[in-house]
Amino acid sequence: MKFYRDRYFWTNLLLILGFVGIIALHIKEYTVWDQIIELARTRVSILHPHAARFAVMFPVMYVALVTKLQPDIVFSYTIVIVMTALSFLIARTLSITVCGNLASVRRLFPVVFPPIVLLAMVMNGRIAWAMLGIMLIISGQVALESGYCRSKWAYFLTQMVGTFFASVSSGSIMIAFLSVVTYNLVGPMLQWPKIRKTDFVRLWVGSTATLVVVPFVLIGLKKNIDFYGGDDAALTHILKHGFGRFFPTVPEIAILLVVVIATVAIVSWIVFLSKLRRGGIETPLLIAVLLACLGGIFGVSTLVSCLPVVFLLILNRVLRGSVRQKQVLTA
CB neighbour list of residue 252: distance below 8 Å, 6 or more residues apart: none
C-alpha atoms less than 13 angstroms from C-alpha of 120 in its C-beta half-sphere: 33
In a domain, 187, yes or no: yes
Calculate helix-pair angle for 283-295, 170-181, nearest 10 degrees: 140
In a domain, 94, yes or no: no
Q: How far apart are CA 32 and CA 9, in angstroms?
A: 32
Domain housing 217: 169-331
CB neighbour list of residue 91: distance below 8 Å, 6 or more residues apart: 105, 106, 108, 109, 111, 112
In a domain, 324, yes or no: yes
Q: Please report the pLDDT score of residue 107 as a whole number.
A: 92
Query: Which candidate, 116, 43, 50, 36, places its Cα nearest to that of 81?
Result: 116
Q: What angle do CA 105, 292, 100 make, to 5 degrees?
A: 25
Query: Which candidate, 128, 122, 142, 81, places its Cα nearest to that of 316?
Result: 142
Q: Please report the pLDDT score of residue 249 as a whole number.
A: 53
Structural contact between residues 126 and 95, judged by C-beta atoms closer than 8 angstroms: no
In a domain, 282, yes or no: yes
Q: Please report the pLDDT score of residue 170 as a whole number.
A: 80
Burial of 198 (0-12, 13-18, 19+ CB in 10 A): middle
Q: What pLDDT tens digit does each residue of the chain (331 aa) get?
A: 565 677 888 899 999 999 999 999 999 999 999 889 988 888 877 767 778 889 999 999 999 999 999 999 999 999 999 999 999 999 999 999 988 888 889 999 999 999 999 999 999 899 999 999 999 999 999 999 888 887 889 999 999 999 999 989 888 888 898 889 888 888 888 777 777 778 888 888 889 888 888 877 777 666 666 655 555 555 555 555 545 555 555 555 656 666 766 676 666 666 666 666 666 777 788 778 777 777 666 667 777 888 898 899 889 988 887 765 555 444 4
For 138, the enclosing helix (H) or strand (E) is: helix 125-146
In a domain, 316, yes or no: yes
In a domain, 136, yes or no: no
Structural contact between residues 280 and 183, judged by C-beta atoms closer than 8 angstroms: no
Q: Please report the pLDDT score of residue 44 as a whole number.
A: 77
Number of domains forming the structure of the chain:
1
In a domain, 128, yes or no: no
CB neighbour list of residue 283: distance below 8 Å, 6 or more residues apart: 141, 145, 183, 187, 275, 276
What's the 3-state SS for 230-298?
CCCHHHHHHHCCCHHHHCCCCHHHHHHHHHHHHHHHHHHHHHHHHHHHHCCCCHHHHHHHHHHHHHCCC
Q: Please report the pLDDT score of residue 151 as a whole number.
A: 86
Structural contact between residues 160 and 212, judged by C-beta atoms closer than 8 angstroms: yes
Structural contact between residues 128 and 85, judged by C-beta atoms closer than 8 angstroms: no
Q: Please report the pLDDT score of residue 274 as a whole number.
A: 65
The reported pTM is 0.85
Q: How far apart are CA 32 and CA 181, in angstroms?
A: 30
In a domain, 8, yes or no: no
